[in-house]
Structure 1
Amino acid sequence: MSEYTRPRVYGADHDSADPCATLPHHEYIELTSGPLDGQLLDVTGLTTDERTAGAYLITRRSAYGPGGGP
Structure 2
Amino acid sequence: MPLPPCPICQKPVPPRPENTSQPFCSRRCRAVDLGRWLGEEYRVPDRQVDEQEDETPADQHPDRGHDA
Q: Report the TM-score, using the length of structure 2 for normalisation.
A: 0.23
Q: Compare the two structures and name the one with the higher helix fraction.
A: 2
Task: Tell me: higher relative CO, structure 1 or 2? Use CA pairs within 8 A at least 6 residues apart.
Answer: 1
Q: Report the TM-score, using the length of structure 1 for normalisation.
A: 0.23
Of the two, which has the highest radius of gyration? Answer: 2
